[in-house]
Chain A
Amino acid sequence: MLILPAIIAISIVVIIPLIFSFYTSFTSYKLTRPDTLFNFIGLRNYERIFSNSEWWWTYLRTILFLTIALNVELLLGLGIALLINKITWGQRTLRTIMMFPMMFSPILVGFQWKYIFNDNIGLLNNFLYLFGYESAIAWLIDQKLAMGSILAAEIWANTAIFSILLLAGLMGIPKDPVEAARVDGCNSWQVFKHITLPFLMPFIFIALTIRSLDVGRAYDIVHIMTGGGPAMRTELTWTTIARVGYKDANMGMANAMSYLSIILSIAFTYYFFTKLKAARQELGQ
C-alpha cells in the first residue's frame, strides 16, 4: 500500500510516456505535422537507424566516453580517498571542499569549463600565455581536443562522488585485520590488495550505481560546451536525440533513437546493481 504513490508517480511520468514513445517510434510522427502521429510505418525508423553508420559511431563514442569517464573517475576518486585518509589534521574541511563539484548543476559545469577552455579569454589559454604559448589553442573547436575537453569537465564534476563514498568506506575498515597482516609481514601493497580493496568493493559499486543513474546528464555538459560540434565529433546519443527530435522535429525517429540509448543507460545501471549485490553478499551482509 505504502509504495502505491511512488508507483503511481512513476507510471505517470516515466512508464506512460515511455509506452507512448514506444508507439511513436513506429510512426513517422513529425512535430510540425500532428496528423502523422497515426501514420504507422512499422520498423522503418529502426531500419534507417540501424543502417546509419553516423548513429553507430555516436553510439560507440557514447560507450567509450562513459567507459573512460567512469574508469578515470573511479581511479582518481580512489587515489584522492586514500590520500585524504592519510591526513588526520583538517580532514573534515578537506572533505567539505571535496564535495564542492557535487553541488554544481551539469549545465553550470559545462558553462564553467566552456569559459576555462575558451580560446580567447579562457583561463587555460591565459595560463599558457604566461609560459610563452602565445598562439591560442582552440580547445573546443579543434576536432581532436574537443572530446578531451568535455571529458575533463565530466571528470571534474563527478570524481567527488567516488572520493567521498570511498573515503567513507576507508574510514569504516576495521583496524584489526590490517594490523594482523602487518605483523605477519605484509607490505602496504599486499594489505591494500587483500584487505582494503575487497572491503571497498561494495562502496565502489554503490558509487558506480549512483553514477550510472545520472550518465544521461552528460547531455547538459556537451550541449552547452560544444553543442555536438565541431562537425558532430562530440555528439553523444543524447545530443543526437535532441537534434533529431527538436531541431529536425522528427519525433518518431528521435523516439526510436531514445529507445536504443535508454537500453544503454539501463544496461549500465543494471550491471552495476547486480555487481553491488554480489559484492555485498561476499562481505556477508
Chain B
Amino acid sequence: MVRKIKKITYWLLTFLVMFITCLPGIWIFISAFRPNAEILSKPANWFPDNWTIHEFTQMFSIKGYVSVPAFDYLMNSVIISLTSTVIAITIGMMGGYAFARFNFKGKNTIFLGLMLARAVPGISLSLPLFILWAKLGLINTSFGVIIVYVAMNVPFTIWLTDGFFRQIPKEMSEVARTDGCTRLQAFWNVELPLAGPGIAAAGIFAFLLSWNEYALASVLTRTIASKTLPIGMMDYLSEFTINWAGMCAIAVVMIVPAVILTFIVQKHLVSGLTFGGVKG
C-alpha cells in the first residue's frame, strides 16, 4: 500500500514538472494559430474557437510582405548560424584535439583563458565591438555577425571535443600510424569518426547559441540585410502595443528548427557535456 502511494506521488510530481515545462511552449503554439482578437478576449477561452494561419501567411507572403519580413530574417538566421557553426566546429575541433593529445607549455592557463573569454557577457562585448565594427564597415553585414559568433562558440567547442578525443585511446591512432598513415590520415580515418557524436553535440550547441543570440546581434544588425529572427521578433513590439499573435507565430518559426535539430542528436548531447567536464 505504502509503495503504491509512493509510486502515485512520483507520477503526480513528474506530471506536474512536465506540465510546467511544456505549458509555456504549448500556449505560444496555440496562440500563434488564433486571431489576435481572440487572444485579447476576456474571460479567456482556453482553446481557440477558430484556427487560423493568418500570421504565417502574413510573414511569408511572396508578393511583398505585409507585416514583418520573416522570410528574410529566417534566411539570415539560417545562413549566419550554419556558417558560424561550421567554422567554429572546424577551429574548435583543431583546438580540442591539440588539448587532448599534445602537451605544451601553459596548456592549463590557455584552456582557462579560453573559457574565461567565453564568460564575458555579450552586452559588455557589444559596446567596443559596435565601435570597432562601425570603423571596419562590418555593421549590418552577415559577415560581421558570423565572425563574432565563431569566436563565441570556439571555447565551448574546445571544451566538448577535448573531452571526446580523450575518450579515444591514443593507441588507435598509433596503430594506424605504424601501418603507414600520416598523423592527419590517422586523425581523419580513425579518430574523427569515433569522435563524431561529440562533434555533433558541439555543433548543436554552437548552432543553438548563434540561432538564439540577441544581445550582440541587436547592436550589430540594422536592416533585413542581416537581422536575425530574435531581432526580427522585436518588430512586433511597438512602444505601447504588442502584436501577440504575430510574436507567437515568429516564435514558432524560431523554435521548430531548434527542436528538430536537438531531437536528432539529443542522445549525444548529455554525454558530450559530461565527458568534457568529468574526464577533462
Contacts and interface: CB of A to CB of B under 8 A. Distances in A.
Interface of A: 1-3, 5-7, 9-10, 12-18, 20-21, 24, 80, 83-84, 86-87, 94-108, 111-113, 115-116, 120-121, 123, 126, 129, 156, 160, 164-165, 167-169, 172, 202-203, 205-206, 209-210, 212-213, 215-217, 219-220, 223-224, 238, 241-242, 245-246, 251, 254-255, 258-259, 261-262, 265-266, 268-270, 273, 276, 280, 285
22 contacts: A3-B98, A9-B150, A13-B129, A20-B132, A24-B131, A96-B263, A98-B21, A99-B262, A102-B208, A103-B262, A105-B213, A108-B254, A115-B247, A115-B248, A126-B43, A164-B269, A164-B273, A206-B278, A210-B273, A210-B277, A251-B131, A266-B119
Contacts of B215: 216-217, 219-220, 238, 242
B119 A15 contact: no
Interface residues of B, number: 87
Contacts of B22: 97, 100
Contacts of A167: 270
Contacts of A24: 128, 131
Given A2-B98, A106-B214, A265 B244 contact: no
Interface string B12-28: 01100110111111011
Nearest to A23: B128
Q: Which 7 A-B pairs have the closest CB atoms?
A: A216-B121, A105-B212, A206-B277, A13-B151, A17-B128, A21-B128, A2-B98
Given A9-B91, A216-B121, A255-B127, A103 B255 contact: yes
A83 B43 contact: no
B123 A216 contact: yes
A104 B91 contact: no
B180 to A, nearest CB: 23
Contacts of B20: 156
Interface string B91-117: 110110111001000000010101111
A181 B259 CA distance: 42
Contacts of B99: 3
Contacts of A6: 91-92, 94-95, 114, 154-155, 158
A168 B274 contact: yes
A102 B212 CA distance: 11
Given A108-B255, A251-B131, A273-B112, A241 B17 contact: no
Contact of B251 (A5, A108, A120, A203): A108
